[in-house]
């Protein structure tokens, strides 16, 4: 009989996930005694190291302690969590918000709370794993449509008249950097009496002139059929997540969301830091700086004729196809001083292994130019 030492079958080398300890300092990363320029963080605005953000967190730790001590239901519901919810929902253009631990917890809890046995969920095939798992674990029935194929989605919706329906999609897709057409999704939701659950973890801080994300860029924020999830672990440089929606929906979730009740409330210092981040990103026009860097990278990549997929977001995938070429490319970039991981199946579909380059507002013109030169050199022996 197997014991804990041989429970799992060995993973073949080209599929092994590389978990190595790293320490981060702004755009630099230290790993195995080497310092590399990091093009693999989702800290798109550099807020994780912003002095004003760190100061807010440190000051709140002094006053309020480190952990929150309990779930929000018991005694962990610090007033600053509510202040952050009010501020974020106002900025995002929704009536209300709920602040809870991580995007993963938010999606698992949200889909469980929304869907009963009679609910049908319609999911884009490239949705983030947290949405996939949320749908798998809830009691509803899953239907999947090909990536961004809204004609296919429409047929699926039409095949289930009379039932409760939820369309589930990433806003910005996390491995491709492309975007859902949120207006098209909402008109389908209107037509077929469905809700739209949209996870815009990678749109917040990146899209819309103010950084309010995909739904603000499309002018549909606060739509009554829209339930949006955004996270603090990406452009906000921290940890945690928000569910945004109508007053009634958020009040209902406060009564039903198991990942809210049965998980310790986020630390007050984190909420304090995120509150300051929301001010800093506007005052310092960080989204604008990021967008300039994205534009610069794409212009250069085009001049060099690099195989970068179209993307207006901070995620710029460089397609290589098979696992070995992606691993080799990542290793060669490391030798040249850059940290850009290879992303392979099952995280992405078979045959689409890639380098996932992420850009930040705090990369300089020199950083970006040197990266493009190194990517170009990959094509040469
Ligand atoms: C990162 C991510 C999540 C998970 O958020 P965490 O806060 O890291 O748990 C959920 N959805 C999408 C689309 C993501 O990219």
Residue nearest to atom 14 of ligand 1 (CA): 201
Q: Among 48, 101, 102, 103, name the best residue to mutate to test ligand 1's pocket (greatest count of ligand atoms within 8 A of Cβ).
A: 103
Query: What spacing in Å lies between the alpha carbon of 106 and ligand 1's midpoint?
Result: 9
Q: Kindly give, in sequence order, each residue whose CB lies less than 8 Å from that of residue 105, ignoring residues fewer than 6 positions away.
A: 241, 259, 263
Residue nearest to atom 5 of ligand 1 (CA): 103
pLDDT digit string (tens) for 289-319? 999 999 999 999 999 999 899 999 999 999 9
**Distance, CA of 298 to CA of 232 (rounded, Å):** 26
Query: What spacing in Å lies between the alpha carbon of 134 and ligand 1's midpoint?
Result: 12
If you average pLDDT over every residue of the chain, what do you get?
95
Say what the pLDDT of residue 119 is.
98
pLDDT digit string (tens) for 137-155? 999 999 999 999 999 999 9
Residue nearest to atom 10 of ligand 1 (CA): 103
Q: Among 199, 203, 207, name the best residue to mutate to test ligand 1's pocket (greatest count of ligand atoms within 8 A of Cβ).
A: 199
> What is the three-class DSSP state of 14?
helix
Say what the pLDDT of residue 131 is.
98
**pTM for the full predicted model:** 0.95
Residue nearest to atom 4 of ligand 1 (CA): 103
Q: Among 214, 233, 243, name the best residue to mutate to test ligand 1's pocket (greatest count of ligand atoms within 8 A of Cβ).
A: 233
Q: What is the atom index within ligand 1 of the atom nearest the CA of 202?
A: 15
DSSP 270-296: HHHHHHHHHHHHHHTTHHHHHHHHHHH
Q: Please give all residues whose beta carbon lies within 6 A of any atom in ligand 1, as ranges.
A: 102-104, 107, 128, 130, 170, 174, 199, 201-202, 231, 233, 241
CA 292, 298, 303, 306 torsion: positive or negative?
A: positive
pLDDT digit string (tens) for 73-104? 999 999 999 999 999 999 999 999 999 999 99
Catalytic residues: 174, 202, 234
pLDDT above 70: residue 381: no
Confidence of residue 235 (pLDDT cuts 50, 70, 90): very high
Q: What is the atom index within ligand 1 of the atom nearest the CA of 240?
A: 7
Query: What spacing in Å lies between the alpha carbon of 131 and ligand 1's midpoint?
Result: 9
68-105: burial string, b at 16+ Cβ within 10 Å, e else: beeebeeebebebbeebbebbbebbbbebbbbbbbbbb
Percentage of the chain lying above the pLDDT 70 cut: 100
Say what the pLDDT of residue 16 is.
76
């Amino acid at each position: 009989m197997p014991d804990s030492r041989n429970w799992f079958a060995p993973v073949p080398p080209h599929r092994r996930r590389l978990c190595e300890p790293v320490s981060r300092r702004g755009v630099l990363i230290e790993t195995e005694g080497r310092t590399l320029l990091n093009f693999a963080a989702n800290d798109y605005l550099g807020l994780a190291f912003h002095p004003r953000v760190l100061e807010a967190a440190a000051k709140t730790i002094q006053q309020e302690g480190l952990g929150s001590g309990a779930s929000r239901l018991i005694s962990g519901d610090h007033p600053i969590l509510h202040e952050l919810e009010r501020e974020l929902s106002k900025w995002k253009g929704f009536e209300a918000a709920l602040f809870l631990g991580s995007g993963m917890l938010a999606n698992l809890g949200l889909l469980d709370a929304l869907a009963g046995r009679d609910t049908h969920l319609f999911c884009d095939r490239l949705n983030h794993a947290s949405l996939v798992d949320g749908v798998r674990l809830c009691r509803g029935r899953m239907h999947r449509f090909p990536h961004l194929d809204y004609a296919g989605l429409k047929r699926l919706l039409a095949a289930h008249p009379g039932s409760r329906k939820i369309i589930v999609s990433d806003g910005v897709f996390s491995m491709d950097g492309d975007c859902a057409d949120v207006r098209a999704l909402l008109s389908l939701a209107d037509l077929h009496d469905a809700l739209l659950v949209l996870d815009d973890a990678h749109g917040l801080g990146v899209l819309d002139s103010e950084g309010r994300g995909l739904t603000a860029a499309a002018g549909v924020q606060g739509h009554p059929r829209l339930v949006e999830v955004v996270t603090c672990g990406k452009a906000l440089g921290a940890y945690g997540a928000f569910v945004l929606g109508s007053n009634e929906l958020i009040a209902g979730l406060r009564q039903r969301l198991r990942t809210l009740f049965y998980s310790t409330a986020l630390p007050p210092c984190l909420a304090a830091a995120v509150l300051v981040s929301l001010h800093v990103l506007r005052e310092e026009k960080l989204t604008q700086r990021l967008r300039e860097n994205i534009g610069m990278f794409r212009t250069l990549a085009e001049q060099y004729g690099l195989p970068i997929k179209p993307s207006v977001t901070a995620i710029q995938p460089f397609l290589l196809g098979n696992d070995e070429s992606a691993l080799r490319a990542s290793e060669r970039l490391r030798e040249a001083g850059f940290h850009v991981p290879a992303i392979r199946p099952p995280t992405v579909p078979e045959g689409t292994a890639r380098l996932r380059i992420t850009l930040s507002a705090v990369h300089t013109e020199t950083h970006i130019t040197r990266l493009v030169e190194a990517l170009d050199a990959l094509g040469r022996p």
